[in-house]
A and B are shown apart, each in its own frame.
Chain A
Amino acid sequence: MIVEIGHFALVLALCAALAQTIVPSLGARLGDPVLMGVGQSAALTQLALVTIAFAALVNAHLTSDFSVLNVAENSHSAVPTIYKISGIWGNHEGSMLLWLLILAIFGGLVALFGRSLPRALRANALAVQGLIGVAFLLFILLTSNPFERLDPAPFEGRDLNPVLQDPGLAVHPPMLYLGYVGFSIVYSFAAAALIEGRIDAAWARFVRPFALVAWSLLTLGIAAGSFWAYYTLGWGGFWFWDPVENASLMPWLAGTAFVHSVAVMEKRDALKVWTIFLAILAFSFSLLGTFLVRSGVLTSVHAFANDPRRGVFILAILAFFILGSFALFAWRAPVLKQGGLFAPVSREGALVLNNLLLTTACATVFFGTLYPLALEELTGEKITVGAPFFNATCGLLLLAAASVMPIGFSLAWKRGDLLGVIQRLTAAIAAGAVAAGAGAAWLRGGSIVAAIMAGVAIFVIVGSLIEVVVRAWRPGLAPGLALRRAFGLPLSFWGAALAHFGVGLTLLGLAGVGFGAETITTLHKGAPVEVGPYSVTLDSIGDRVGPNYRETVAAMTVRSGATVVAMIEPARRQFAARQMATTQAGLATIHFGQIYVSIADPTPDGDVPARLYWKPLVTLIWFGGATMALGGALSLADRRLRFGVAARARAGAVVAAAE
């Protein structure tokens, strides 16, 4: 009965979402605070109902209730508990329900914490949020229902694909979804501002934390996905410019631009229309990403040949929310009051440049991802736009953005002193130039891209550090006082500095790839093979038995000169039940680099065909991602940003009077 209660709760959630859409927007029109207040109660009701539904599905998975089709198709009684849970979102229906749950959670947060917002704005935003909920609830209930039943129930489930039985994939989708869906709030508020025809700094201040949460989690989600691909796919690649990856990169780029432009709006009351545009863009790409991952937007109609309704439904949702919001934008944006002015050389000017580069980069990814699909649809010609295209366009633009980043970060608001900033950054520029020169000399004649990247990375890293020092310390200041001043700096500043530092780290990791080494060979027992500055020796081959697989393990020793640095055990795993083999790469982290060995099945005479890599600094790619996310979280912790509660805390009297 729990299953059916969950199902019914989902149906009721649809009613709550409808109420959340209709009543508050009516209230906003009539100016009735009570009707507007229904937005909050309906949003919280929806949250409670969706939570019940999700809990019911979790329960069905945990108890292996195979009378639920979703459980029977994606679980198995023998699967470990963690994969019973991650199996919930390892499939289309369950992942859509998770998406909806996150949507409802964000709606609930607005309802709970939006007290300091203008009532009409909050009512309209909740109404838009409710409308997104209605669309997804209808989609889930009518085409992707996770509560579909099987009668009679089979005795065993079909099992979760072994490839999905990995801790990396257990956490990656929820984080990505939290990121995607977080932008829905930004979108709803943008639409509400357009409906109302007014937007101000308070809007920016309220929306920014949501954008930061979404952005930080999206960053982590992308980094986790990239790391997973790196260690499981067996050839050390971490980014493939695959449509599915691009789908997550596009909202990230738009979201990064938004996080920056909303800062301009908050501080300087400028770039209003542009910020609204980015808000719509970020969520539009999130929707696109959600559906690309599961189906492929343009191919969705074919991919679901058995259920064309689903593909059509997806296209309808995309068209409604993307085209609808842009139509609203075109119609209402001119009504918004123009913002303040600023000089081209200023923090604002630099942020405009940043936005320009990021959105253009986003556009190139969009083009490269969808062009092949569109071409196939139109002409039937099948093409692939590969990594070189994206490297030459998006990569180049992002590198350009990174190389002006420290300068922009050091410029003052309103009117900046470019010369002064460059003087301030002299040390960073010099360090970057030295790094690039040394890199180029080391690579001697090879591609200098890696050397340039290393130079930019060092420039960014040193530049962020200099900015912190300059803010806290002036010549003649005692170190103790400087330290105190450093701690007194606003957390949002620390967050920005840390995030920029993280960009530098990631860039350094990417540059490191160019300095790596790769050897494809057959290893003989006891004969060392050189890879980069290290040598790898095959010691022995053995068999091991795991819970549901058998593996052949090749034990190897990594040496630097004569000293042993690490022992690694790359393996081949055979999943007998599914007749699948996977490669477990042998990884040894040395400083920030890694030795990466993947093997093929040993030959009968005990030799092991292997691919060996030395990847210097490669771990910095993900450390950098995590650092960026941490920077976002730190900004979030800034009291001033906390859901507008801060304004009340500090200027208590004023707001209290206003309430």
Chain B
Amino acid sequence: MFWFIMAGMAAFAALAAIWPVLRSSPPSRDADPATSEPAFYTAQLDEIQRDVERGLLPQGEAASARAEAARRLISARSEAPKPALPPRARWRLAAAALIAVGVPVVALPLYAYLGRPQMPDEPLASRPPPSLASSNIEAAVAGVEAHLIAKPDDGKGWAVIAPVYMRLERYEDAARAYSEALRLLGEDGARRAAYGEALVAAAGGVVTDKAREAFMKALADEPGLPQARFYLALAAEQDGEKDDAIRDYESLIADASPDARWVDAVKKRLASLKGEPPPQADPEASAAAPEAQQAMIEGMVSRLANRLASNGGSVDEWERLIRAYTVLHEADKAKAALADARKALAPDQNAVASLDALAHDLGLGDAN
């Protein structure tokens, strides 16, 4: 059916374009209105006459204008129109054939290359309405989003959707949702910390000033909140204040209840910071205690890396990845990412310059 319509359209286009050729089987010699120039001056003379009759043009001016138009009329007439070549049917046939063959030959392959012929329309009305019960999480999110557009002041709605955004890796949306929830539902240490975490995730694992502020605020509200303390320690580490970071991590471990699931992650972090081999964690415990935060960051980074490797990305995204590896103390991977980024962005001088600057800043060695 679809290809039937396509063929019809192509045929229509070709026929419509060569219509004059089809219509004019006997090569008629229509008079060429190239003689319209004399006609134009004749009209101008009439116009002058009319203006005079209406009294819009004084006689004197009219006479000179008339003289000039007449002079030009004569010169235009004396220019004999070029004798037209006798039209040749061969050329017409060639043109018609060119169009008739050319249209499908150009259009079909080009469309096959660009188009998605098998893909149907999907107007919103014809699609199943997204429902919360649906197993499709995206549909559920769309439902909540629609609700929030209608009622942007529903703080609970924002609070519900924020962690979902987090799981969907829509970190910026998550940060926005958390901040809306905080604004509408009031201050809450845990939520403030979650907001900070979203900011960190959005920045590719870097604890930005804004995130740091959020964690501080969370701690002020709920002192001892481990999540916030962990990220503040991480911030110190990223700022190069190693001693502070070590102290913070240690105090965090000291304060933790021994069965807390995240302690191992912190210990590992601490060890790598001190340059020690990672602690031989009790294999049972480590299996039972996923290294929540660390794993989250690493997961994020690896997803970003995969995406950039398969789909490419902007210079900012590449830089985010390189930075993230540096933060995770994975210098080799950072260097590899830098090399990949250089390759991927090579045609863009600015991007390469920016990468060089970054490499220099991070001490990854200069170009090549």
- Residues A38 and B17 in contact in the complex (CB < 8 Å), given A33-B30, A116-B33, A647-B39: yes
Q: In this complex, what residue of A is CB-closest to B312?
A: A306
Contacts of B350 in A (CB 8 A): 302, 305
Q: Does B295 contact A (CB under 8 A)?
A: no
Q: In the complex, are the beta carbons of A15 and B34 less than 8 A apart? A: no
Q: In this complex, what residue of B is CB-closest to A412?
A: B61
Of A186-194, A239-247, A448-456, A651-659, the segment with at least 4 beta carbons within 8 Å of chain B is: A651-659
Of A39-47, A290-298, A502-510, A609-617, the segment with at least 4 beta carbons within 8 Å of chain B is: A39-47
B-contact bits for A10-27, CB 8 A (1 contact / 0 none): 011011101110110011
Q: Does B258 contact A (CB under 8 A)?
A: no
Q: Report how far A64 CA is from B39 CA in the complex, Å.
A: 55
Within 8 A of B (CB), among A345-373: none
Q: Does A48 contact B (CB under 8 A)?
A: yes
Contacts of B35 in A (CB 8 A): 658
Q: Does A470 contact B (CB under 8 A)?
A: no
Q: Does B72 contact A (CB under 8 A)?
A: yes
Q: Chain B: how many interface residues by the 8 Å CB criterion?
A: 89
- Residues A14 and B107 in contact in the complex (CB < 8 Å), given A19-B99, A23-B95, A35-B92: yes
Contacts of B30 in A (CB 8 A): 33
Q: In this complex, what residue of A is CB-closest to B40?
A: A202
A-contact bits for B83-102, CB 8 A (1 contact / 0 none): 01101100110010011001
Q: Does B281 contact A (CB under 8 A)?
A: no
Q: In the complex, are the beta carbons of B138 and A40 less than 8 A apart? A: no
Q: In the complex, are the beta carbons of A116 and B17 less than 8 A apart? A: no
Contacts of B142 in A (CB 8 A): 154-156
Q: Does A93 contact B (CB under 8 A)?
A: no
Minimum CB–CB distance from A607 to chain B (whole Å) comes to 23
Q: Does A2 contact B (CB under 8 A)?
A: yes
Q: Report how far A5 CA is from B20 CA in the complex, Å.
A: 26
Q: In the complex, are the beta carbons of B87 and A26 less than 8 A apart? A: no
Q: Does A524 contact B (CB under 8 A)?
A: no
Secondary structure call for the B interface: helix
Q: Does A269 contact B (CB under 8 A)?
A: yes
Our pick among A34, A118, A644 for the contact of B87 (Cβ within 8 Å) is A34
Q: In the complex, are the beta carbons of B40 and A19 less than 8 A apart? A: no
Within 8 A of B (CB), among A109-126: 115-120
Q: Does B74 contact A (CB under 8 A)?
A: no
Q: Does B288 contact A (CB under 8 A)?
A: no
Minimum CB–CB distance from A482 to chain B (whole Å) comes to 11
- Residues A77 and B124 in contact in the complex (CB < 8 Å), given A34-B21, A44-B16: yes
Q: Does B180 contact A (CB under 8 A)?
A: yes
Contacts of B124 in A (CB 8 A): 63-66, 77
Minimum CB–CB distance from B193 to chain A (whole Å) comes to 20
Within 8 A of B (CB), among A603-644: 640, 644
Minimum CB–CB distance from B31 to chain A (whole Å) comes to 7
Contacts of A488 in B (CB 8 A): 54, 56
Of B6-14, B260-268, B320-328, the segment with at least 4 beta carbons within 8 Å of chain A is: B6-14
Q: Does A4 contact B (CB under 8 A)?
A: yes
Contacts of A115 in B (CB 8 A): 33
- Residues A4 and B47 in contact in the complex (CB < 8 Å), given A33-B30, A141-B114: no
Contacts of B43 in A (CB 8 A): 647, 650-651, 654-655
Cross-chain pair count, CB within 8 angstroms? 251
Q: Does B293 contact A (CB under 8 A)?
A: no
Minimum CB–CB distance from A352 to chain B (whole Å) comes to 19
Q: Report how far A627 CA is from B312 CA in the complex, Å.
A: 52
Contacts of B106 in A (CB 8 A): 11, 14-15, 18
Minimum CB–CB distance from A494 to chain B (whole Å) comes to 13
Contacts of B61 in A (CB 8 A): 412
> Which of B44, B138, B145, B152 is most buried by chain A, counting CB atoms within 10 A of its CB?
B152
Q: Does A1 contact B (CB under 8 A)?
A: yes
Q: In the complex, are the beta carbons of A155 and B139 less than 8 A apart? A: yes
Minimum CB–CB distance from A552 to chain B (whole Å) comes to 14
Contacts of B115 in A (CB 8 A): 4, 7-8, 11, 147
B-contact bits for A146-167, CB 8 A (1 contact / 0 none): 0101010111100000000000
Q: List 14 A-B contacts (CB under 8 A).
A: A4-B116, A11-B111, A12-B107, A14-B106, A32-B91, A37-B24, A45-B13, A67-B121, A117-B36, A119-B33, A305-B351, A576-B180, A647-B39, A654-B42
Instruction: Show the binding face of A for B, using Cβ within 8 Å.
Output: 1-5, 7-9, 11-12, 14-16, 18-20, 22-23, 26-27, 30-35, 37-38, 40-42, 44-45, 48-49, 60, 63-67, 76-78, 115-120, 141, 145, 147, 149, 151, 153-156, 200-202, 205, 269, 302, 305-306, 308, 412, 414, 471, 485, 488-490, 548, 550, 576-577, 579, 640, 644, 647, 650-651, 654-655, 658-659
Instruction: Show the binding face of B for A, using Cβ within 8 Å.
Output: 2, 5-6, 9-10, 13-14, 16-21, 24, 27, 30-44, 46-47, 54-56, 61, 64, 72, 76, 82, 84-85, 87-88, 91-92, 95, 98-99, 102-103, 106-107, 110-111, 114-117, 119-125, 127, 130, 138-139, 141-142, 145-146, 148-150, 152-153, 176, 179-180, 314-315, 345, 347-348, 350-351
Top 5 A-B residue pairs of the complex, sorted by shortest distance between their CB atoms: A63-B123, A576-B152, A37-B20, A155-B142, A64-B124
Given A34-B87, A116-B33, A412-B61, 14 more pairs with CB closer than 8 A: A1-B2, A4-B117, A18-B102, A31-B82, A31-B87, A35-B91, A60-B121, A63-B121, A145-B114, A200-B76, A550-B153, A650-B47, A655-B43, A658-B36
